[in-house]
């Protein structure tokens, strides 16, 4: 047993070989009294050292802060990336335990477990998956964080450790996915030089995983291979039939473009039915990622599944979320993700639960106090989205719906808590950072205010066509009963017109009737207005909220009084579920006469390649050439004069170029500049 010195705390590093843990002993509580590194905030906790353990008196009262906590301040340099927080715990009461490691750069992770009462010390373990090395500064502990319910009891903790290992599993898994993808692509869809560069990146990663020297080296290799993945997927040569697709990310992956194209060309009056948290739990059951209340009632999974991102944004590795998203994609269904982001100034996503009256949105913008924190949360989301790979290694496209219902003010990003310009800037930065900085190209961006009465009201905070792919809306109030029918139809007509005008798709991103007391709600209140006229029929998907329990649910479950009506809803030709009626949304079926591909860049079009000073562009009649980096960000544009452009001012590297000739011909390719 290790003995602690004056500070009663010892941090020990075991020099190890590859893959062997490096345990840092945070505290084993064997010293003379509690270390000064331990602190308490609020009155819900008092802590002391007792019988060589940390004794925690927990007494939450009406006067306690919802986020009272105790924490440990690092007094040594502890650099971590992927690591485990381990300790022993016993308690007289059950509670939700949150552990929050905080780093010197201001970022943090949010880890969570439900703890049951026990008279014996049980081992508790939290896994943190990281892609970059950071210096740990604090570890916070919360019991029932965010709660105002009175509770009291005693808990004991012991042997708190951090185990840092050289983790190669993530890189090995990524290499496997990359090889699958490489085996299913061809020069007809991707540039030959891009495929060659991708294969080279795979080979480099394999060399590193065979002989890793540090976690930093592994993390760097992961980032490089992710970038190579982004480069090859974003270089997809667009067939002519997809030219009408104008996504916020012009370098979207093949599957993302194809999904959007197929949603857009669904027959008017046909729409996907979706359910939030479609699997994983339901009314009267839990922890089954293959079970669905919807399927139990009608025999089929919903064609669209909604999921939440809040825990993932905090850095929680959610393998079940990965499984669910992959499952629905493998069935040909669509995944959509909302983000009930916690208030960065304290509290949850509801404004009423704030810890301060300061407005959070300005702090997230460039120059704001929480801008770095926000970029960390977006990076965590990107790391999760990158984990979503299909059977051939391809990135799974998802609909991303942040900062929804912003026309109301119940959320901290709502209309009363930020200006129009601040909301638009937040949205635009989010898209640009995910697309241009993190090179994430499998997102479809959905804009979804709450109820509205006019086109002007709907567009009041609209961030611009370049940042939105789906014009959607959330509406519960107008669907409580038939009295809201005309208002609901008006909303549908407005977004239907906008979808046509802006060449986008429209959707009902959230709706439902809690408990479904109306036994004909699905056919009469929801479906009939959608089928009212040619504009309302533009809706491509509709999603109802989750099934939490017997009172808070929005889809039927076996035995529910609305089940017969839901089966009629399912049987109607307008509704699409995961069965024979669902079109192949990830397969490109270009109509005859429009399957001509844009020309690939060839030696008689762009040469020399690589180029150093001049690039010859054989168009014959001038035009323009735009240069993009491999994340899709514009880096320059040149006029084609006498069939050439000067590229000597561009830094060496690989560029994607888009050429438009004076006659209107368009083509893309990759160009290397030495």
Task: Quote the Cα angle for 99-104-110, to 5°.
Answer: 20
Environment class of 63 (CB within 10 Å of its CB; exposed 0-12, middle 13-18, buried 19+) = exposed
> In this predicted structure, what is the pLDDT of residue 455?
98
> In this predicted structure, what is the pLDDT of residue 13?
31
> In this predicted structure, what is the pLDDT of residue 617?
83
Architecture of domain 22-164: Sandwich (2.60)
How long a stretch of residues is the chain?
A: 674
- CA separation for the pair 253, 242 (Å, rounded): 12
> In this predicted structure, what is the pLDDT of residue 96?
94
Left (φ > 0), alpha (ψ -120 to 50) or beta: where does 503 sit? left
> In this predicted structure, what is the pLDDT of residue 22?
56
Left (φ > 0), alpha (ψ -120 to 50) or beta: where does 347 sit? left
> In this predicted structure, what is the pLDDT of residue 438?
95
Tokens 């020297």: give the residue: 213
- CA separation for the pair 558, 294 (Å, rounded): 9
Q: What is the mean pLDDT of each run of 10 residues along the chain (674 residues)?
A: 34 33 80 93 96 96 93 86 91 96 87 94 88 87 91 96 81 95 92 92 93 83 94 86 83 96 95 98 96 98 97 86 97 98 95 96 97 94 96 97 98 98 98 96 98 98 98 97 96 97 97 98 98 97 97 98 98 95 89 39 63 80 82 82 86 83 77 82
Q: Which two tokens stand for residue 512?
A: 């439902």
Fold of the domain built from segment(s) 170-234: Substrate Binding Domain Of Dnak; Chain:A; Domain 2 (1.20.1270)
Environment class of 565 (CB within 10 Å of its CB; exposed 0-12, middle 13-18, buried 19+) = buried
Q: Say if residues 539 and 235 touch (Cβ distance below 8 Å).
A: no
Q: What is the DSSP code (8-state) at residue 536?
A: G
Nearest to 493 by CA among 451, 455, 540, 449: 455
> In this predicted structure, what is the pLDDT of residue 652?
81
Q: Which two tokens stand for residue 139?
A: 């570890």
Tokens 């808590």: give the residue: 417
Fold of the domain built from segment(s) 606-673: Immunoglobulin-like (2.60.40)
- CA separation for the pair 477, 456 (Å, rounded): 20
Q: Which two tokens stand for residue 476?
A: 């519960």
Beta bridge partners of 636: 627
CA 347 vs CA 311, 355, 455: distances in Å: 14, 6, 33
Q: What is the DSSP code (8-state) at residue 484?
A: G
Q: What is the DSSP code (8-state) at residue 12?
A: -
CA 179 vs CA 184, 212, 320, 357: distances in Å: 9, 20, 24, 51
Tell me if residue 451 falls in helix, strand or coil.
coil
Q: What is the pTM (predicted TM-score) of this model?
A: 0.78
> In this predicted structure, what is the pLDDT of residue 15?
29
- CA separation for the pair 631, 232 (Å, rounded): 10
> In this predicted structure, what is the pLDDT of residue 4?
34
> In this predicted structure, what is the pLDDT of residue 629?
78
- CA separation for the pair 275, 294 (Å, rounded): 8
The residue extents of the domains of the chain are 22-164, 170-234, 241-578, 606-673
The DSSP bridge pattern shows strands 53-60 and 45-50 to be antiparallel
Q: What is the CATH number of domain 241-578?
A: 3.20.20.80
Nearest to 447 by CA among 484, 465, 472: 472
What distance, in Å, lies between the first and last C-alpha atoms of the chain? 60
């Amino acid at each position: 047993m290790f003995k602690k010195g004056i500070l009663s705390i010892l941090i020990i590093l075991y020099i190890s070989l590859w893959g062997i843990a490096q345990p840092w002993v945070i505290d084993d509580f064997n010293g003379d009294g509690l270390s000064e590194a331990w602190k308490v905030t609020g009155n819900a906790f008092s802590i002391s050292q007792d019988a060589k353990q940390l004794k925690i008196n927990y007494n939450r009262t009406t006067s306690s802060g919802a986020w009272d906590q105790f924490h440990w301040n690092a007094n040594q340099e502890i650099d971590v990336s992927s690591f485990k927080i381990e300790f022993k715990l016993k308690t007289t009461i059950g509670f939700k335990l949150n552990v929050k490691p905080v780093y010197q750069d201001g970022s943090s992770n949010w880890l969570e477990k439900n703890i049951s009462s026990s008279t014996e010390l049980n081992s508790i373990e939290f896994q943190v998956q990281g892609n970059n090395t950071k210096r740990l500064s604090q570890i916070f502990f919360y019991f029932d964080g965010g709660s105002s319910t009175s509770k009291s009891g005693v808990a004991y903790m012991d042997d708190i450790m951090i185990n840092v290992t050289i983790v190669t599993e993530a890189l090995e898994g990524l290499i496997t996915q990359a090889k699958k993808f490489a085996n299913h692509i061809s020069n007809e869809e991707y540039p030959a030089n891009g495929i060659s560069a991708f294969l080279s990146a795979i080979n480099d990663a394999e060399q590193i995983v065979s002989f890793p020297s540090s976690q930093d080296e592994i993390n760097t290799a992961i980032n490089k291979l992710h970038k190579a993945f982004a480069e090859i997927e974003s270089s997809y040569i667009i067939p002519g039939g997809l030219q009408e697709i104008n996504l916020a990310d012009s370098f979207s992956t093949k599957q993302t473009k194809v999904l959007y194209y197929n949603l857009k060309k669904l027959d008017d009056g046909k729409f996907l039915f979706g359910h939030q948290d479609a699997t994983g739990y339901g009314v009267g059951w839990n922890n089954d990622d293959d079970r669905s209340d919807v399927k139990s009632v009608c025999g089929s999974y919903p064609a669209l599944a909604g999921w939440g991102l809040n825990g993932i944004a905090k850095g929680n590795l959610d393998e079940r979320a990965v499984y669910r998203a992959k499952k629905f994609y493998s069935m040909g269904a669509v995944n959509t993700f909302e983000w009930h982001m916690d208030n960065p100034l304290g509290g949850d996503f509801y404004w009423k639960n704030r810890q301060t009256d300061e407005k959070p949105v300005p702090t997230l913008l460039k120059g704001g106090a929480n801008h770095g924190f926000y970029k960390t949360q977006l990076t965590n989301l990107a790391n999760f989205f990158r984990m979503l790979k299909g059977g051939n290694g391809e990135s799974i496209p998802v609909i991303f719906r942040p900062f929804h219902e912003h026309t109301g003010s119940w959320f901290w990003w709502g209309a009363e808590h930020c200006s129009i310009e601040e909301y638009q800037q937040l949205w635009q930065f989010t898209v640009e950072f995910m697309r241009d900085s993190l090179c994430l190209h499998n997102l479809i961006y959905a804009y979804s205010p709450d109820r509205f009465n006019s086109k002007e009201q709907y567009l009041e905070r609209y961030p611009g066509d370049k940042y939105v792919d789906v014009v959607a809306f959330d509406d519960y109030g107008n669907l409580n009963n038939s009295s809201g029918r005309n208002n609901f139809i008006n909303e549908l007509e407005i977004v239907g017109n906008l979808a046509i005008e802006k060449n986008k798709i429209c959707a009902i991103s959230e709706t439902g009737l809690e408990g479904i007391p109306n036994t004909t709600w699905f056919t009469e209140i929801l479906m009939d207005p959608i089928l009212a006229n040619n504009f309302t029929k533009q809706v491509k998907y509709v999603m109802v909220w989750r099934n939490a329990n017997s009172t808070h649910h929005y889809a039927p479950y076996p035995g529910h009084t609305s089940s017969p009506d839901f089966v009629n809803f399912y049987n109607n030709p307008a509704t699409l579920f995961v069965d024979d009626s669902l079109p192949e949304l990830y397969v490109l079926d270009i109509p005859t006469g429009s399957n001509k591909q844009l020309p690939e860049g060839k030696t008689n079009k762009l040469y020399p390649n690589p180029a150093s000073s001049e690039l010859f562009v054989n168009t014959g009649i001038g035009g323009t050439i735009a240069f993009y980096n491999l994340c899709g960000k514009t880096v320059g544009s040149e006029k084609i004069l006498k069939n050439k452009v000067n590229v000597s001012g561009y830094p060496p590297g690989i560029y994607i170029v888009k050429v438009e000739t004076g006659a209107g011909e368009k083509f893309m390719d990759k160009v290397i500049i030495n």
